[in-house]
Every structure is written in structure tokens, then in C-alpha cells.
Structure 1
Amino acid sequence: MTDWSWDYNPSAEYITDGLPPEVVAEVERLAAELAVLGHDSVRVGRPFDREGGLRQFDIFGGRGFLSFLPVPRHECVYVCHVTWYG
């Protein structure tokens, strides 16, 4: 267990506006799991060939994806964007 947390960047309203409730719930569940990974979250998702920076992770079997930024010095995973194809 780590002391990492997660948050929306810039805000929950901006990122989740118009998304179905089940998609928001899945994004928040995944964000919480990424925070549990702590520093290892810099290696999760795409791109596969490097660590750090903006990462992407598929949701619902490719029906969308979330972009997140793990920031080790803040000990936080920031959800920056959610794309939902429906």
C-alpha cells in the first residue's frame, strides 16, 4: 500500500461531463488502482517503450481510454482526459 492519491486535472466536472455514470465509476476505480501502484504507475499503459509522461489505458475492452499523468514528486496520479466511444 502506498500513500499515493489520485485526482482529476483540471477538474472532475470538466473531464467527466457527458460521460455515462458507469464509465465515470470505472475511471475512478482504475485511478484508485493506479494510485495503489504508486511509483510503478509510471510504467502502466501506453507508451510501452518508456516510463513517465502522459500515459494511456484502455477501458471497457477498447470502447474508450483514459489519459493519466503519474507525478512521483506529488505522489499523485492525475486523470487528465477520458475518451469514450460508446
Structure 2
Amino acid sequence: MTDWSWDYNPSAEYVAGGLPPGVVAEVERLAGELAVLGHDSVRVGRPLDREGGLREFDLLGGRGFISFLPVPRHECVYVCHVTWYG
């Protein structure tokens, strides 16, 4: 278990505004799981050939994806964008 947290960047309204409640719940669940990984979150998702930087992770079986930025210095995973195909 780590002391990492997660947050929306720049805000929850900007990133998740207008998404169905079930999608928002899944985004927040995944963000919590990424925060539990702590520093290892820099290697999760795409791109597969390097670690760090803005990363992507599939959402609800490929019906969308989240873009997130793990920042070890802040001990935080920032959810930056959600793409939902519906």
C-alpha cells in the first residue's frame, strides 16, 4: 500500500463533466487502483515501450480510455482526459 493519491487535472468538471455516472465511477475506481500502485503506475498502460509521461489505459472493455499522468514527485496520479465512445 502506498500514500499516493489521485485527482482530476485540471478539474472533475472539465475531465468528467457530461459522462454517464457509471463511466465516472469506473474512472474513479481505476484512478484509485493506479494510486495504490504508487510509483509502479509509471509503467501501466500505453505506451508500452517506455515509462513515465502521459499514459493511457482502456476503459470498460475498450469502449473508451483514460489518459493519466503519474507524478512521483507529487505522489499523485492525475486523470487528465477521458475518451468515451459510448
SS at match of 1:61: coil
**CA drift at 1:82:** 0.1
Partner of 2:7: 7
Q: Which one-letter code corresponds to 1:16 in the other structure? A: A
* Residue 50 of structure 1, CA deviation: 0.1
Q: Secondary structure at the match of 1:36?
A: helix
> Partner of 1:29 in structure 2?
29
Question: TM-score scaled by structure 1?
Answer: 0.99
Instruction: After TM superposition, give the deviation of residue 65 of structure 1 in Å.
Output: 0.2
**Secondary structure of the residue that 1:50 maps to in structure 2?**
coil
Measure how far apart 1:30 and its partner are: 0.2
Runs of 4+ in structure 1 off by over 4 angstroms are none
Q: What 5-or-longer segments of structure 1 have no aligned partner?
A: none
Query: Within 1, Cα distance between the matches of 2:49 and 2:28?
Result: 26
Alignment TM-score, normalising by the size of structure 2: 0.99
- Give the aligned partner of residue 54 of structure 1: 54
Quote the offset at 1:21 in angstroms. 0.1
Does 1:72 pair with 2:75? no
Q: Percent of pairs identical after alignment?
A: 88
**Aligned equivalents of 2:13 and 2:57: distance in 1?**
20
Give the AA of the match of 1:65: F
Aligned residue pairs total 86
Task: Give the secondary structure class of the aligned counterpart of 2:56.
Answer: strand
CA RMSD of aligned residues (A): 0.3
Q: Equivalent residue of 1:49, what SS?
A: coil
